[in-house]
Amino acid sequence: MSTEDQIAPLSPKTSPATATITPFTQRKESNSSSEDNRQDSWELVEDLQGLTGNIQKPEKQEGLLLKKRKWPMKGWHKRYFLLERGILTYAKTGTDLKKGRLRGRIDVGLSVMAMKKKSMCIDLDTEDSIYHLKAKTRDLFEQWVTQLRHHRTFRQNEITMEPPERPLQSDPTANRRVFTLLIQSCYWPKSTKPIMTQMFSTDQEVLVGSRPLRQQVSSESRGSIPESLSEFFDAKEYLLSGSSSENEASDDDSYVSDVSDSTSVEFCRNENGVAKEISSNGNNCAVKRRERLPSTRMNESVNLWSILRSNIGKDLSKVAMPVQLNEPLNTLQRLCEEVEYCHLLDTAANTHDPHMRMVYIAAFAVSAYACSFTRAGGKPFNPILGETYECLRPDKGFHFIAEQVSHHPPVSACHCESKNYTFWQDVRWKNKFWGKSMEIVPMGVTRLELFADRYEWSKVTSCIHNILSGQRWIEHYGEISIKHSTTMGDVSLCKSRSGGLNANEVEGMVTDSNGRVIHSLFGKWNEALYLGKPPSATCIWRANPMPEDHEQYYGFTQFAIELNELEEGLKPLLPLTDTRFRPDQRLLEEGDIAGAEEQKERTEVLQRERRRVLQENNITHSPRFFKRAEDDSWVSNGTYWDLRKDPGFSKLEFPVLW
């Protein structure tokens, strides 16, 4: 991980502090190799094709395997597994398994299964989680793979042959059938009434709740997300959904309590109302920004499985995707979305208490994920090498620029300034597809400067579930450790549990240089962050309300709706490389999918041609507005706004990107 090349010292009045935000769980990375090393590639286990009435009941398989766990206690841990009738359960020990002290439950018939022979790894991607398993010996690996294949085929045949109308049983054997019925409910019409579902806690006590089952949505409505994902997790689905995954509950099963509406919101501030901007003569003027996109989302079905099935465990950044999967925003613009709640940085800059300053910075770091809650239905456009984006917001007090500085690996750099702060980062993404889920793993460091003080943190991993069917939803997991420039040592972490009721929750703490906890934080990354402990906690940040019809418009927030708007008065001021001139993205925004796909292909051809010319002439691309720092990060070269003013971008030459 890179560090800042120039570190500003703390003032004598400033006590070093560290903020830690701990959301969710973590996953894993892998790579694939060439044909010569085929065993090091992920091999996908095919699904059952059609009904087979004579599949023999498989033998029971049990024993120790290694399971990857990244929070808490990272690494591979021994777990005792039992595979019976296509259901894989596991516990800490064999004794715990016999006593019913289960850690998780996986229906292998409903999972995408992949394996890597060389490393003896087996991956199971369920609807909610990704399980990474490993055998210690080659014989044990082959034995488990053989049994998993047999059990998976048996289970898939069993599910296919079961009549969907069969009611749920009220006896303890129902725990083997609940998850099957949940999946079968995907094929029932949307008018299906809520039915009784039985959930089991860790002591096999039956918890009964009346909740509507999750329903299948067609590709025409995948962009919509329910108002609150918590409706899917109101009962403890600990054993049924396998939501524990990499983040098993520890021996201390404490978790963040729900926050009531009565919690104090004394410090909670949002940026709403009519935008006020400053005209060139210094006078305030009201700016009317658009309240919706030119067109609703145009839905066309896409056979994603045919595109992705050969890319299990691989980086998807080089895989061409149809434009229907995109949203009409660019990755450079998504970086700008992270400063929507920049008022938190203004507040931090004007806060003299260094520990409270860290509280506001922590809230800002969490707020960057709020916009993604309703955005699991589409992906942003990948920027072209040399593509730029500017966002000038006098109403919010900042000016922002971004540029795609590298193509392979793809790197997006941005720089945001105001009178109170400077915020910059370069983001390098890895996308991994696991069968039902896609992980987005960011690299690079986010940096913030408040006068003489500097702070830095890294992003967490994001995972989009139900890529191929069902209701897509997004999960963030990992740790955000915010460090002051002179406090680069150990960071005290706060335990957080993932899945079930706690799927979106986040916990954190602010510590001093001695590791002493000064402030405690809790909340949900998609809703709010609170300081203190309930019921007397105070709200530091709350997400802005969504537009009423946001489901029809890609799940965009009001701030996102404004990002690609191109006013006539702005056109002559922008460089031709600005994202707002990009034709494929503009046509998608206007609802012309066919035209957008055509322009996307043309743009990609132009990019390949430019790259070929550079390679043939042994020329290395040089970014226009960013430069590489000594620590290998990308920073602004400070020329954008000066060139914009004099001589003006219309008088300068730029490459033809589209």
CATH, range 326-570: 2.40.160.120
Amino acid at 332: L
User: Is pLDDT larger for residue 371 or for residue 188?
Assistant: 371
Least confident of 241-245, 440-444, 555-559: 241-245
Binning pLDDT at 50, 70 and 90, where does residue 71 land? Answer: low
pLDDT value, residue 634: 96
Round to whole Å and give the CA distance between 331 and 553. Answer: 18
pTM attached to this predicted model: 0.71
- In terms of Cβ atoms closer than 10 Å to its own Cβ (0-12, 13-18, 19+), residue 174 is middle
Percent of the chain with pLDDT strictly greater than 70: 70
Phi, psi torsion values for 407, nearest 5 degrees:
-100, -45
pLDDT band of residue 178 (cuts 50, 70, 90) is: very low
pLDDT value at 440 more than 90: no
Of 245-259, 313-327, 401-415, the least confident: 245-259
Q: Is there a contact between 198 and 207 (Cβ–Cβ < 8 Å)?
A: yes
604-611 long-range contacts, Cβ below 8 Å, gap at least 24?
604/320, 606/656, 606/657, 606/658, 607/384, 607/385, 607/407, 607/657, 610/385, 610/655, 611/385, 611/407
Please report the pLDDT score of residue 286 as a whole number.
Answer: 60
pLDDT grade for 441, boundaries at 50, 70 and 90:
confident
More confident residue, 388 or 258: 388
Residue 120 pLDDT greater than 80, yes or no? yes
pLDDT band at 107 (very low <50, low <70, confident <90, very high): very high
- pLDDT above 60 (res 491): no
- Cα→Cα distances 324→144, 249, 604, Å: 39, 39, 16
> Is residue 257 predicted with pLDDT exceeding 80?
no
How confident is residue 12, by pLDDT bands cut at 50, 70 and 90? very low
pLDDT value at position 40? 66
Please determine, for residue 121, whether its predicted confidence score (pLDDT) is greater than 60. Answer: yes
Amino acid at 403: E
SS (H, E, C) 524-592: ECCCEEEECCCCCCEEEEECCCCCCCHHHHCCCCHHHHHHCCCCCCCHHHCCCCEHHHCHHHHHHHCCC
pLDDT grade for 72, boundaries at 50, 70 and 90: low
Give the C-alpha distances (Å, rounded to integers) separating 113 from 106, 129, 198: 11, 12, 27
Cα separation, 149 vs 339, in Å, equals 48
Q: Residue 461 and residue 394: Cα distance in Å, rounded?
A: 32
Per-domain residue ranges for the chain? 56-160, 326-570
Q: Is pLDDT above 70 for 489?
A: no
Q: Contact at 8 Å (CB) between 225 and 471?
A: yes
Band the pLDDT of 50: cuts 50, 70, 90: low
Q: Which residues contact 362 (CB under 8 A, 6 or more apart)?
A: 19, 21, 480, 482, 508, 510, 521, 529
pLDDT in tens, 572-598: 999 999 999 999 999 999 999 999 999
pLDDT at residue 37, rounded to an integer: 55
Mean pLDDT of the chain: 76
Whether 83 has a pLDDT exceeding 80, the answer reads: yes
pLDDT band of residue 602 (cuts 50, 70, 90) is: very high
Q: Which of 56-65, 228-237, 274-283 has the lowest mean pLDDT?
A: 228-237
pLDDT of residue 467: 81
From 60-74, 184-198, 489-503, the region with the lowest mean pLDDT: 184-198
Q: What is the pLDDT of residues 217-251, one digit of tens each?
A: 333 333 332 333 232 222 222 222 333 344 454 44
Q: Which of 237, 188, 196 is nearest to 217 (CA)?
A: 188
Beta strand ranges found along 146-224 (DSSP E): 195-200, 206-211
Mean pLDDT over 288-301 rounds to: 86
The pLDDT tens digits for 332-345 are 999 999 999 999 99
Confidence at residue 475, expressed as pLDDT on a 0 to 100 scale: 86
Q: Which residue has the higher pLDDT, 201 or 546?
A: 546
Residue 448, pLDDT above cutoff 60: yes
Q: What is the mean pLDDT of residues 549-569?
A: 94
Give dist(CA 577, CA 607) in Å, integer.
13
The architecture CATH gives domain 56-160: Roll (2.30)
Report d(CA 446, CA 483) in Å as an integer. Answer: 11
503: its two tokens? 């799927």
* Nearest-angstrom CA–CA distance, 179 and 499: 16
Task: Indicate whether 66 pLDDT > 90.
Answer: yes
How far is the C-alpha of 617 from the C-alpha of 615, rounded, in Å? 5
Residue of higher predicted confidence among 287 and 152: 152
pLDDT of residue 262: 44
Give 159's pLDDT tier (boundaries 50, 70, 90). Answer: confident
pLDDT of 449 higher than 90: yes
